[in-house]
Amino acid sequence: NAGVTQTPKFQVLKTGQSMTLQCAQDMNHEYMSWYRQDPGMGLRLIHYSVGAGITDQGEVPNGYNVSRSTTEDFPLRLLSAAPSQTSVYFCASTNRDRKSRGYGYTFGSGTRLTVV
Protein backbone atom coordinates (compact mmCIF):
# COMPACT_ATOMS: atom_id res chain seq x y z
CA ASN A 1 0.00 0.00 0.00
CA ALA A 2 1.98 2.98 -1.30
CA GLY A 3 -0.58 5.73 -0.51
CA VAL A 4 -0.26 8.76 -2.78
CA THR A 5 2.68 8.70 -5.21
CA GLN A 6 3.89 11.80 -7.03
CA THR A 7 6.44 11.96 -9.81
CA PRO A 8 8.81 13.54 -10.48
CA LYS A 9 10.11 14.79 -7.12
CA PHE A 10 12.10 17.61 -8.72
CA GLN A 11 11.81 19.32 -12.09
CA VAL A 12 13.36 22.33 -13.80
CA LEU A 13 11.54 23.77 -16.81
CA LYS A 14 12.23 26.58 -19.19
CA THR A 15 9.60 29.26 -19.67
CA GLY A 16 7.08 28.11 -22.25
CA GLN A 17 7.68 24.40 -21.84
CA SER A 18 4.84 22.07 -20.95
CA MET A 19 4.88 19.09 -18.66
CA THR A 20 2.70 16.74 -16.66
CA LEU A 21 2.98 16.10 -12.94
CA GLN A 22 1.86 12.61 -12.13
CA CYS A 23 -0.23 11.57 -9.13
CA ALA A 24 -1.45 8.08 -8.34
CA GLN A 25 -3.16 6.60 -5.28
CA ASP A 26 -3.86 2.98 -4.46
CA MET A 27 -6.43 3.50 -1.69
CA ASN A 28 -9.50 3.62 -3.95
CA HIS A 29 -10.16 7.21 -2.88
CA GLU A 30 -12.88 9.09 -4.75
CA TYR A 31 -11.63 12.59 -4.00
CA MET A 32 -8.32 13.90 -5.29
CA SER A 33 -6.90 17.42 -5.24
CA TRP A 34 -3.89 19.38 -6.40
CA TYR A 35 -2.41 22.14 -4.23
CA ARG A 36 0.50 24.47 -4.69
CA GLN A 37 2.52 25.72 -1.75
CA ASP A 38 4.47 28.95 -1.81
CA PRO A 39 6.34 30.50 1.13
CA GLY A 40 3.93 32.22 3.50
CA MET A 41 0.92 31.33 1.37
CA GLY A 42 -0.18 28.03 2.80
CA LEU A 43 -1.74 25.46 0.49
CA ARG A 44 -3.82 26.80 -2.36
CA LEU A 45 -6.18 24.58 -4.30
CA ILE A 46 -5.57 24.32 -8.06
CA HIS A 47 -8.03 21.65 -9.26
CA TYR A 48 -9.94 18.83 -7.69
CA SER A 49 -11.92 15.74 -8.65
CA VAL A 50 -14.74 13.86 -6.96
CA GLY A 51 -14.43 10.79 -9.13
CA ALA A 52 -13.39 9.45 -12.50
CA GLY A 53 -14.50 11.78 -15.28
CA ILE A 54 -15.35 14.68 -12.91
CA THR A 55 -13.05 17.63 -12.27
CA ASP A 56 -13.47 21.22 -11.14
CA GLN A 57 -11.42 24.35 -10.61
CA GLY A 58 -10.05 25.52 -7.31
CA GLU A 59 -8.68 28.86 -6.18
CA VAL A 60 -5.75 29.16 -8.62
CA PRO A 61 -6.54 27.12 -11.77
CA ASN A 62 -5.08 29.39 -14.46
CA GLY A 63 -2.27 27.77 -16.45
CA TYR A 64 -3.14 24.24 -15.34
CA ASN A 65 -5.27 21.43 -16.71
CA VAL A 66 -6.36 18.17 -15.15
CA SER A 67 -8.19 15.02 -16.15
CA ARG A 68 -9.39 11.98 -14.23
CA SER A 69 -9.81 8.99 -16.52
CA THR A 70 -9.35 6.43 -13.71
CA THR A 71 -9.95 6.43 -9.96
CA GLU A 72 -6.23 5.96 -9.33
CA ASP A 73 -4.65 8.70 -11.44
CA PHE A 74 -4.99 12.47 -11.40
CA PRO A 75 -2.30 14.16 -13.53
CA LEU A 76 -1.71 17.91 -13.51
CA ARG A 77 -0.63 19.53 -16.78
CA LEU A 78 1.24 22.80 -17.07
CA LEU A 79 0.36 24.15 -20.49
CA SER A 80 3.08 26.78 -20.93
CA ALA A 81 5.30 27.10 -17.88
CA ALA A 82 5.91 30.54 -16.38
CA PRO A 83 8.28 31.60 -13.57
CA SER A 84 5.20 32.35 -11.43
CA GLN A 85 4.50 28.62 -11.42
CA THR A 86 7.69 27.91 -9.52
CA SER A 87 6.34 26.19 -6.44
CA VAL A 88 5.93 22.93 -4.56
CA TYR A 89 2.98 20.92 -5.80
CA PHE A 90 1.09 18.45 -3.64
CA CYS A 91 -1.47 15.90 -4.65
CA ALA A 92 -3.88 14.67 -1.97
CA SER A 93 -6.72 12.18 -1.74
CA THR A 94 -9.51 11.06 0.55
CA ASN A 95 -12.92 9.40 0.38
CA ARG A 96 -16.43 9.99 1.67
CA ASP A 97 -15.96 7.34 4.34
CA ARG A 98 -13.66 9.80 6.11
CA LYS A 99 -16.46 12.35 6.51
CA SER A 100 -16.63 11.81 10.25
CA ARG A 101 -12.93 12.62 10.46
CA GLY A 102 -13.18 15.81 8.46
CA TYR A 103 -12.11 14.09 5.26
CA GLY A 104 -8.56 13.89 6.55
CA TYR A 105 -6.50 14.03 3.40
CA THR A 106 -3.48 11.88 2.57
CA PHE A 107 -0.80 13.88 0.78
CA GLY A 108 1.88 12.80 -1.65
CA SER A 109 5.50 13.76 -1.02
CA GLY A 110 5.36 16.68 -3.45
CA THR A 111 6.98 17.86 -6.67
CA ARG A 112 9.40 20.77 -6.44
CA LEU A 113 9.14 22.70 -9.70
CA THR A 114 11.41 25.51 -10.83
CA VAL A 115 10.63 27.48 -13.98
CA VAL A 116 13.53 29.51 -15.35
> Is residue 1 a contact residue for other proteins (CB under 8 A)?
no
| Residue partners of 95: CB distance under 8 A and separation at least 6 | 27, 28, 29, 30, 31
Q: How many C-alpha atoms does 14 have within 13 Å on its Cβ side?
A: 0
Site string for other proteins, 30-69 (x = CB under 8 A): -x-x-x----xxxxxx--x-x-------x-----------
Is 103 near other proteins (CB under 8 A)?
yes
* Dihedral (Cα; 47, 72, 70, 105), 10-degree rounding: -30
17 or 98: whose CB is closer to other proteins? 98
Site residues, other proteins (CB under 8 A):
31, 33, 35, 40-45, 48, 50, 58, 90, 92, 94, 96, 99-110
